[in-house]
Protein backbone atom coordinates (compact mmCIF):
# COMPACT_ATOMS: atom_id res chain seq x y z
CA UNK A 1 0.00 0.00 0.00
CA UNK A 2 1.25 3.45 -0.80
CA UNK A 3 0.24 6.38 1.38
CA UNK A 4 1.41 9.93 0.97
CA UNK A 5 1.52 12.48 3.73
CA UNK A 6 2.46 16.13 3.74
CA UNK A 7 5.05 17.24 6.29
CA UNK A 8 6.57 20.66 6.77
CA UNK A 9 10.06 21.48 5.55
CA UNK A 10 11.58 21.43 9.03
CA UNK A 11 10.34 17.90 9.74
CA UNK A 12 11.37 16.74 6.29
CA UNK A 13 14.90 18.06 6.90
CA UNK A 14 15.05 16.38 10.31
CA UNK A 15 13.95 13.04 8.84
CA UNK A 16 16.50 13.37 6.04
CA UNK A 17 19.29 14.22 8.49
CA UNK A 18 18.40 11.24 10.69
CA UNK A 19 18.17 8.92 7.70
CA UNK A 20 21.58 10.02 6.50
CA UNK A 21 23.18 9.55 9.92
CA UNK A 22 21.68 6.05 10.20
CA UNK A 23 22.40 5.18 6.59
CA UNK A 24 18.73 4.45 6.00
CA UNK A 25 16.19 5.84 3.61
CA UNK A 26 13.78 8.54 4.80
CA UNK A 27 10.95 6.11 3.96
CA UNK A 28 12.50 3.53 6.28
CA UNK A 29 12.76 6.06 9.11
CA UNK A 30 9.13 7.07 8.66
CA UNK A 31 7.91 3.45 8.45
CA UNK A 32 9.75 2.65 11.68
CA UNK A 33 8.30 5.73 13.39
CA UNK A 34 4.76 4.88 12.31
CA UNK A 35 5.16 1.25 13.37
CA UNK A 36 6.43 2.26 16.82
CA UNK A 37 3.61 4.78 17.20
CA UNK A 38 0.92 2.24 16.23
CA UNK A 39 2.35 -0.42 18.55
CA UNK A 40 2.52 2.07 21.44
CA UNK A 41 -1.05 3.25 20.87
CA UNK A 42 -2.33 -0.34 20.56
CA UNK A 43 -0.66 -1.17 23.88
CA UNK A 44 -2.14 1.96 25.45
CA UNK A 45 -5.61 1.07 24.15
CA UNK A 46 -5.29 -2.51 25.43
CA UNK A 47 -4.33 -1.16 28.87
CA UNK A 48 -7.30 1.24 28.78
CA UNK A 49 -9.70 -1.57 27.87
CA UNK A 50 -8.32 -3.76 30.68
CA UNK A 51 -8.73 -0.90 33.14
CA UNK A 52 -12.34 -0.33 32.06
CA UNK A 53 -13.10 -4.05 32.36
CA UNK A 54 -11.51 -4.12 35.82
CA UNK A 55 -13.55 -1.10 36.89
CA UNK A 56 -16.76 -2.74 35.62
CA UNK A 57 -15.86 -5.94 37.48
CA UNK A 58 -15.21 -3.99 40.68
CA UNK A 59 -18.53 -2.14 40.37
CA UNK A 60 -20.30 -5.47 39.91
CA UNK A 61 -18.55 -7.51 42.62
CA UNK A 62 -16.86 -5.04 44.98
CA UNK A 63 -13.81 -7.34 45.05
CA UNK A 64 -10.46 -5.56 45.13
CA UNK A 65 -6.90 -5.35 46.46
CA UNK A 66 -5.46 -2.25 48.00
CA UNK A 67 -2.34 -0.67 46.58
CA UNK A 68 -0.47 -1.58 49.77
CA UNK A 69 -1.52 -5.24 49.46
CA UNK A 70 -0.40 -5.36 45.86
CA UNK A 71 2.95 -3.64 46.57
CA UNK A 72 3.64 -5.96 49.53
CA UNK A 73 3.07 -8.98 47.29
CA UNK A 74 5.16 -7.57 44.42
CA UNK A 75 8.01 -6.84 46.83
CA UNK A 76 8.29 -10.59 47.48
CA UNK A 77 8.93 -11.42 43.81
CA UNK A 78 12.33 -12.93 43.21
CA UNK A 79 13.06 -13.39 46.90
CA UNK A 80 13.23 -16.47 49.11
CA UNK A 81 10.00 -15.26 50.71
CA UNK A 82 8.05 -15.01 47.44
CA UNK A 83 4.35 -15.45 48.17
CA UNK A 84 1.23 -16.33 46.23
CA UNK A 85 -0.91 -13.40 45.11
CA UNK A 86 -3.28 -12.15 47.79
CA UNK A 87 -6.96 -12.89 47.45
CA UNK A 88 -9.38 -10.15 46.51
CA UNK A 89 -11.82 -8.98 49.18
CA UNK A 90 -14.68 -6.56 49.66
Residue 37 pLDDT: 98
Model pTM score: 0.72
Alpha-helical segments (H) within the chain: 9-22, 26-61, 67-74
What is the signed CA dihedral for 32, 34, 35, 38, rounded to 10 degrees? 160
Q: What is the average pLDDT value for the chain, to the nearest integer?
A: 96
Per-residue model confidence as pLDDT tens digits over 9-52: 999 999 999 999 999 999 999 999 999 999 999 999 999 999 99
Q: What are phi and psi for residue 77, nearest 5 degrees?
A: -60, 135
Amino acid sequence: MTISIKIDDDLENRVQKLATSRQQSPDGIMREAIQQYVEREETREHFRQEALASWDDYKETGLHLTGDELRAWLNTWGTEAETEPPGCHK
